[in-house]
Structure 1
Amino acid sequence: MKNSKVFLSLCAVLFILPSLDAQTKRIKRPKSRVGVGSVDRFVQESFDLYDKVYKYDGYAAAGTPLDDDDIDVLEEALEEMTVLSESAPDIIDDLDGVGVLKQGKATLQMNKAKKALKYSIKTAKELLLGQREREAQENEDDTAETESGDSPDISGTSGNQKDGADVEAEEEPSNISDKLEVYSKFDFVPGDKLLYFDDFSQDFIGDFPSKWNTNGTGEVVTVGSVEGKWFELKGGYGIQFLPLLSEALPEEYTIEFDLLAVVDTKTSSTARLNLTLADNNEFRDGPNKSSVELPLGQFGAFSIRVFNRINGGTVINSSLNANLRQAVLNKPHISVAVNKRRFRLWVNQKKYVDIPQFIAPDKALSHIKFNLLGMRDGVDRLFITNLKVAEGGVDLRRKLMAEGRISTNGILFDSGSANIQPRSLGIVRQISQVLMQDQSIKLNIIGHTDSDGPDEANLALSKARANAVKEALVTIYKISEERLTTEGKGESEPVGDNTTADGKAQNRRVEFVKI
């Protein structure tokens, strides 16, 4: 009966997970929690089972036979691992709406837990069938580490034991897809002609920002350890905040900005940020507008409200199911694309709104307005930064195919580093599609920076950023690296004024040139 049970369990496992080469170096358990309940449980349970199997694997390597109790434990663990492995896809879905940093951490830990789970299932199967073999030296390495008492570490697997001395754990090779894979299908493409940018770097703390207007009040602030300057919007009846665009909005454009919210479970269900595309830059409504309200409350999953007015009449007034609670608490990035009458909105990598006839026709909408609703005075607070408006955002693929080169400032990196911000993958994805469509195309990827910092450092940074884009194309989208070359120009070829925020944003760009 027992042998039959083992056989059935093994058959089930073989259909669930692919085979894995023998894992003899101990996989480190992550030290910290992600803060997403299902992810944390999956990681903990995976490593609890892994520890059991790893122990028995050590026994086998030492030549110690398994007794009946050991076999019972392994059988039970095998069944638990089968159930746990089946739950992984559902857990990935729980990351929708979670902040970018938490998503990256969760993805890393899930990948490590799945690796531990694959090893455990394969090893348990071999142990139960009497087929597990390991070289003595490998066992000595792993047993020494197990007995050393080192605390688990997320950074990687252990090194080998040499001359009886402990060595530092070797980091697992960095895999760019670990952090970016949840964004790999993100299809937002920012416009390529910058119309407006404000990160408030040119404003003094405590002042109302110089590139905005309001009929209320607000101020530029810094927020704890959060990077950069932020504009705090102040609530009130009928209060509006207007970015001072130098020209009217075109037919096709994109809007992006970062939010930081201070809200709690007592925040009202009516607490919302309203983004309006309007037909005027005054503190009144005209006959044409399109508005979207993002919920900020935390005690329930509140809908996104969308409504418009065309020639004085309401055409759309609806509520879209959404759960933005986690996103709101984790500095979300908002992306909007307007293509003639079509309106789309993403929160982080997830698209929540896509309405084909939302915008009034004949370029009726020309300005942007923000206002806050339902905020508790002095308790609920909302901040905005990195507001970017750019013309275009349609299809870079056609331009690259037709002209042989494109330049974009839509691929964003962490400040002073070559780490691609995941929300930039919409552009990288389009480049990959061009390369997949025409296998003969080869590209040179050229990085550029603004003038902040030393020339030599900027040159190195621009080269590193070009290499990061190449790595994303190779790792995530499986483009042959032989088709890609990279180059860095640093700050040597500016296209904008490096004394202004707008100009610096234009100069931080990546070019793709057909070879």
Structure 2
Amino acid sequence: MKTSISLKQIILIFSVLLFAAPLLKAQTKKIKRPKSKVGISSTDNFVQESFDLYDKVYKYDGYASAGTSLDDDDIDVLEDALDEMTALSDNAPNILSDLNGQGALKQAKATLQINKAKKALNYSIKTAKELLLGQREHESDSESEDETEDDETTEADDEDNNESVGDTNSEEVTETVPSNVSDGLEAYSRFDFVPGDKLLFFDDFSQDFIGDLPSRWNTNGSGGIVKFNKVDGNWLELKPGYRLFVIPDINKLPEDYTIEFDVLSSGLAKNLGNSARLYIYLSDTDKFSAGDSHHIKLSIPFGQYAPYDVTAYNFFNRKAGRINSSLKADLREEVKNNPHISIAVTKERLRLWVNQEKYIDIPRMVEELNVLNYIKFHIYGFKPGEERVFIRNLKVAEGGEDLRRKLLAEGKISTNGILFDSGSSNIQPQSMGIIRQISQVLMQDGSMKLNIIGHTDSDGADEANLKLSKDRAVAVKDALVRVYNISGERLTTEGKGESEPVDDNSTSDGKSKNRRVEFIKM
């Protein structure tokens, strides 16, 4: 009898010590499920439920180790599992109290299985949180890189790859972006993106305060406007996290439209893995979710550890559509060098470009028309405060029509899709899609001559704007001559400054419409 009491006391002390132990670190070594049951229903249920959840999380941890990113369904499964695991963990002390009155051997067996299940549960909770925050993959990537990294990597290289933009609460930070932002206009000579001609939304954040979320956007997280001393304009910082969205105030999209924006990044570590992505959603709701019944999800990889694919996924009528694609890409350098993203939706067809390269061109991506009316941005898999992503110059426009037909039919076109550096006549390379179409018209009709007219908004002095508009017209002519070999004798130029506005110069949208180039047949 004394021996039995003493054994119970030992078992109970052992149990308390195990439950009081710190949480175990996440591990990849498989924890084996107990082969037999104890015969105490609360214990057997606790062990079974814990290992069922453990097996589920362990599977997704394996995906992360293999560099496979999680999709929306995976994230939903993990979130639900995390809720179940937390509730199960909270109930563990009650399970232990159910051992009172049981035989010594049964208590011993039950205690060992409970603590084994607790170990699996602790691993599952910690790992699920890391997976949902996009942090799990960094550990495995880092370990792999430690084994394979070239010994000749210099300290300067490490500093360059881990530099930080700076504090978003300050009014100005001193970070600069690399000088090789683009490869020149010639690299864009075959770029066939043409922006829509009817502006629906434009925001360069020029009228928002530093540190604030822009007035024409909404979010369920945070984010703020940042200004840099060596990079033009204001930028909106996107904050990483699962189910965190920033949504511009757009509530109606036509059947044909284009989306453009610029991206800036900083601090992208060498071991940044496949989960680090910028997501663009086209959705049927302005809720902070992918969508109610319909959505399209595109993702651009920012991982630096290896080449990672661009992805495209569609979801219509509350079920996965026919598209769940990974499209071959290597954007490691592009995402570090201020890329321009262009998207064109033409009824069912969707195309996506990063700089001049087209990575997505899916003819039946939009399975149901007139249901996707909202645009959402989301980033995932980045270390908060270290690996940072910013966007600027979001432009949404209806159309994307073939300007060649319009010029031939009407003898003139006006476009605000030819973009220039601020206060400069330097053409931004992504504008070459329009200039290319103009060149094709001139090649088709060898007798055609065009007058190119530049217009500006009202910012700055009248004389300066007049000169700037003339310089911009000349720059377009030079691009036609230099890149597409059009004879300069067929082109004349003119500038009208701010004298002929087509919209209100007090708003960002209006200014964007007023900054335009006209082509008139002579």
TM range (shorter): 0.5 to 0.7
- Give 1:366 shift: 1.0
| Count of paired positions | 343
Match of 2:297 in 1: 291
Match of 2:193 in 1: 188
| Mapped contact 1:289–1:360 kept (Cα < 8 A) | no
- Give 1:267 shift: 2.4
Alignment of 1:13-28 (within 5 A): none
**1:290-326, CA deviations, whole angstroms, 9 ceiling, x for partnerless residues?**
1111111111111112110121221211211110000
- Give 1:452 shift: 0.8
One-letter amino acid of the counterpart of residue 229, structure 1: N
Among 319, 323, 331, the alignment partner of 1:313 is 319
- Give 1:224 shift: 4.4
- Give 1:286 shift: 1.6
SS across alignment from 1:476: helix
Match of 1:394 in 2: 401
Alignment of 1:122-271 (within 5 A): 179-245=184-250, 247-262=251-266, 263-271=268-276
| Mapped contact 1:248–1:366 kept (Cα < 8 A) | yes
Distance in structure 2 (CA, Å) of the matches to 1:405 and 1:201: 31
SS across alignment from 2:221: coil
One-letter amino acid of the counterpart of residue 320, structure 1: L
| Mapped contact 1:344–1:353 kept (Cα < 8 A) | yes
SS across alignment from 1:102: coil
Could you state the TM-score of these two structures normalised by the residue count of structure 1?
0.65
SS across alignment from 1:426: helix
One-letter amino acid of the counterpart of residue 407, structure 2: L
Is it true that 1:482 corresponds to 2:489 in the alignment? Answer: yes
Q: Please say which structure displays the higher CA radius of gyration.
A: 2
Distance in structure 2 (CA, Å) of the matches to 1:382 and 1:481: 42
Distance in structure 1 (CA, Å) of the matches to 2:286 and 2:219: 10
Match of 1:505 in 2: 512
- Give 1:360 shift: 2.8
Match of 1:384 in 2: 391
- Give 1:399 shift: 0.9
Match of 2:89 in 1: none
Please, which moves more after superposition, 394-403 or 424-433?
394-403
- Give 1:389 shift: 0.5
Distance in structure 2 (CA, Å) of the matches to 1:208 and 1:413: 26
- Give 1:100 shift: 9.9
Q: Which runs of 4+ in 1 moved over 4 A?
A: none
- Please provide the CA RMSD for this pair: 1.5
Distance in structure 1 (CA, Å) of the matches to 2:347 and 2:503: 28
- Give 1:223 shift: 3.0
Distance in structure 2 (CA, Å) of the matches to 1:449 and 1:378: 38
Distance in structure 1 (CA, Å) of the matches to 2:431 and 2:333: 21
- Give 1:103 shift: 6.8
- Give 1:429 shift: 0.5
One-letter amino acid of the counterpart of residue 260, structure 1: L
- Structure 2: gaps of 5 or more residues: 1-176
Please, which moves more after superposition, 312-321 or 203-212?
312-321
- Structure 1: gaps of 5 or more residues: 1-98, 108-178
Match of 2:57 in 1: none
Among 426, 436, 444, the alignment partner of 2:443 is 436
Distance in structure 2 (CA, Å) of the matches to 1:379 and 1:100: 18
Match of 2:463 in 1: 456
SS across alignment from 1:464: helix
Match of 1:303 in 2: 309
Distance in structure 2 (CA, Å) of the matches to 1:299 and 1:310: 34
One-letter amino acid of the counterpart of residue 203, structure 2: D
**1:359-404, CA deviations, whole angstroms, 9 ceiling, x for partnerless residues?**
1322221110111111212221111101110111121111111111
Distance in structure 2 (CA, Å) of the matches to 1:437 and 1:398: 12
Is it true that 1:279 corresponds to 2:284 in the alignment? Answer: yes
SS across alignment from 2:281: strand
Distance in structure 1 (CA, Å) of the matches to 2:352 and 2:278: 14
Distance 1:103 1:213, change over 3 A: closer
Q: Percent identity?
A: 60
